[in-house]
């Protein structure tokens, strides 16, 4: 590694570490595959093929607005299942440490055995690295490489975990491949066309949502997606988590569970989902107060709270009243259940799989966005029928749908 780049003292591309800072982080992609672009980047940086791949990952993460990429230096967290020949622990650490020595990344390196508060090592590209990669890429499109492993298991700390294959796992993997084969040949424009990945948390009954790059697009941009020139159509499950909780409790699903007289619908929606994902009232009240502040500021176009500002006491009072109204309106279901949110996410994932794979079996491209789906307009009726039958098959009742 022979190129050096000064660490910029104050630039938008550098984030200074603050002890205890709660920054959103993503994991470094372990599906490192070399191509003409990554080899050109490696040649420019005078690094390995692995280094070229990592530099491109850092650049893509920067383009998406992500602050940090996490990775593990602990050999116990490197599972053979998820890594390509270019993404072995030795090659990855050698490339990252080279970038660190050359001043091309901001690096929060954790030492084995260090008290890390559950955090792994993380890194972010400096302006120097971004500029070098941007120069190499020019206007060329960044090639997409399908994942080596689409079914992912992580522990509660986010570390990759190996697992034994089974018929169910093989079926999920085959479904993902079949889905990608259909969407890859559908002439989709307006969004990334990527293979789905399905991360589970600790066990097969937790998590399992299907993720891909198109889900990061805001709704207005998703409205511009076309399929071979045909405009797309997006359909949502209405009040998905709340409706599934009702169905699993054996109670009749309400038409619009987020509507409560005297309260903003967005406040109720935030409260319901917080209460379904939080184990106690105190934590739910604080989280909802923060969400109400964020929602109201966004609605009137006021800047969000800065790090040194506190949520006012009247927001906590407002959150208390919203929670009381939710408990009264939805007395048929139980809130504050530990890990209930992950269980509901697992139900949602199974329903969604029946939808996107059901469409794929019919040769119809379908882009899942968690609890909504985008298909060619001519298949809108089929999508609605499939969403209702899929939800009935998983939770025993058909969930309401809405455009």
**DSSP 8-class letter at 307:** T
Residue 64 domain-assigned (yes or no):
yes
Could you report the per-residue pLDDT of 14-30, keeping only the tens digit for each?
222 222 333 345 788 88
Place of tokens 């260090």: 114
Q: Are residues 224 and 359 in the same domain?
A: yes
Residue 380 sits in a domain whose CATH number is 3.30.70
The total of structural domains in the chain comes to 3
Residue 17 domain-assigned (yes or no):
no
Strand ranges for 79-155 from DSSP E: 105-108, 121-125, 151-154
CB-side exposure of 222: number of CA atoms within 13 Å?
21
Stretch 246-270: mean pLDDT: 94
Residue 101 sits in a domain whose CATH number is 1.10.10
Q: Are residues 165 and 300 in the same domain?
A: no
**pLDDT of residue 78 exceeding 70:** yes
How far the first Cα of the chain sits from its last, in Å, is 53
Stretch 108-136: mean pLDDT: 83
Q: What is the average pLDDT score of the chain?
A: 88
Domain end, chosen from 329, 352, 386, is at: 329
Q: Could you tell me the pLDDT band of residue 118, with boundaries at 50, 70 and 90?
A: low
Helix (H, G, I), strand (E, B) or coil at 368: strand
Residues 54, 99 contacting (CB under 8 angstroms): yes
Helix (H, G, I), strand (E, B) or coil at 136: helix
**pLDDT of residue 357 exceeding 90:** yes
Residue 383 domain-assigned (yes or no):
yes
Stretch 246-259: mean pLDDT: 93
Q: Are residues 79 and 202 in the same domain?
A: no
The total of other beta-carbon atoms located within 10 Å of residue 75's CB is 10
Q: How far is it, in rounded angstroms, from Cα 1 to Cα 98?
A: 6
Domain end, chosen from 137, 159, 174, is at: 137
Residue 229 domain-assigned (yes or no):
yes
Q: What angle do CA 56, 61, 63 make, to 5 degrees?
A: 95
Q: Are residues 212 and 350 in the same domain?
A: yes
Q: Are residues 121 and 159 in the same domain?
A: no
Q: How far is it, in rounded angstroms, from Cα 165 to Cα 205?
A: 15
Burial class for 367, CB neighbours closer than 10 Å (0-12, 13-18, 19+): buried
Residues 388, 403 contacting (CB under 8 angstroms): no
Beta bridge partners of 107: 123
Q: Are residues 345 and 200 in the same domain?
A: yes
Q: Are residues 92 and 126 in the same domain?
A: yes
Q: Are residues 395 and 345 in the same domain?
A: yes
With CA atoms as reference, report the closest residue to 71 among 108, 24, 19: 108
Q: Are residues 192 and 216 in the same domain?
A: yes
Domain end, chosen from 94, 111, 137, is at: 137
Task: At 15, list the tokens.
Answer: 């984030």
Q: How far is it, in rounded angstroms, from Cα 27 to Cα 18?
A: 20
Residues 71, 56 contacting (CB under 8 angstroms): no
pTM greater than 0.75 (yes/no):
yes
**pLDDT of residue 265 exceeding 50:** yes
**Which segment of 256-260, 263-267, 302-306, 350-354 scores lowest on mean pLDDT?**
302-306
Residue 162 domain-assigned (yes or no):
yes
Residues 147, 31 contacting (CB under 8 angstroms): yes
Could you report the per-residue pLDDT of 138-183, keeping only the tens digit for each?
987 888 888 889 999 988 877 788 899 999 999 999 999 999 999 9
Q: How far is it, in rounded angstroms, from Cα 275 to Cα 259?
A: 16
**pLDDT of residue 115 exceeding 70:** no
Q: Are residues 215 and 262 in the same domain?
A: no
Residue 145 domain-assigned (yes or no):
no
- At residue 25, the pLDDT reads 56
Residues 360, 179 contacting (CB under 8 angstroms): yes
With CA atoms as reference, report the closest residue to 380 among 231, 238, 256: 231
Q: Are residues 105 and 44 in the same domain?
A: yes
Q: How far is it, in rounded angstroms, from Cα 237 to Cα 235?
A: 7
Residue 92 domain-assigned (yes or no):
yes
Domain span including residue 49: 25-137
Stretch 335-353: mean pLDDT: 90
Place of tokens 């079914």: 151
Residue 248 domain-assigned (yes or no):
no
Q: How far is it, in rounded angstroms, from Cα 335 to Cα 245?
A: 9
Q: Are residues 32 and 128 in the same domain?
A: yes
């Amino acid at each position: 590694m022979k190129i050096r780049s000064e660490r910029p003292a104050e630039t938008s591309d550098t984030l200074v570490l603050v002890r205890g800072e709660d920054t959103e982080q993503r994991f470094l992609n372990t599906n490192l595959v070399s191509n003409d672009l990554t080899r050109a980047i490696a040649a420019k940086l005078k690094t390995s093929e692995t280094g070229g791949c990592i530099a491109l990952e850092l650049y893509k993460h920067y383009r998406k607005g992500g602050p940090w990429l996490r990775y593990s230096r602990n050999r116990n967290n490197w599972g053979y299942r998820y890594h390509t020949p270019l993404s072995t622990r030795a090659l990855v650490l050698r490339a990252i440490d080279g970038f660190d020595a050359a001043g091309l990344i901001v690096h929060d390196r954790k030492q084995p055995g260090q008290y890390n508060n559950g955090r792994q090592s993380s890194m972010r590209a400096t302006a120097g690295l971004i500029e070098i990669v941007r120069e190499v890429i020019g206007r060329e499109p960044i090639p997409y490489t399908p994942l080596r492993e689409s079914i992912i298991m992580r522990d509660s700390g986010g570390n990759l975990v190996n697992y034994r294959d089974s018929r169910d796992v093989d079926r999920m993997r085959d479904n993902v491949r079949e889905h990608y084969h259909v969407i890859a040949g559908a002439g989709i424009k307006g969004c990334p066309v990527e293979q789905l990945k399905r991360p589970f948390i600790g066990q097969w009954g937790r998590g399992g949502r299907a993720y891909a790059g198109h889900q990061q697009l805001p709704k207005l941009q998703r409205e511009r997606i076309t399929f071979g020139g045909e405009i797309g159509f997006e359909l949502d499950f209405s009040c998905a988590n709340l409706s599934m909780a009702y169905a699993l409790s054996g109670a009749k699903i309400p038409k619009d569970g987020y509507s409560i007289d005297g309260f903003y619908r967005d406040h109720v929606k935030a409260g319901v989902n917080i209460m379904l994902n939080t184990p106690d009232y105190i934590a739910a009240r604080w989280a909802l107060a923060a969400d109400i502040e964020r929602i109201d500021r966004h609605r009137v176009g006021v800047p969000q709270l800065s790090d040194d500002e506190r949520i006012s006491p009247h927001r906590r009072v407002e959150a208390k009243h919203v929670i009381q109204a939710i408990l009264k309106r939805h007395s048929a279901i139980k809130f504050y259940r530990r890990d209930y949110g992950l269980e509901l996410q697992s139900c949602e994932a199974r329903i969604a799989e029946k939808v996107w794979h059901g469409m794929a079996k019919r040769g119809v491209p379908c882009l899942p966005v968690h609890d909504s789906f985008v298909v060619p307009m001519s298949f809108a009726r089929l999508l609605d029928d499939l969403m209702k039958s899929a939800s009935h098959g998983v939770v025993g009742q058909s969930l309401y749908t809405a455009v």
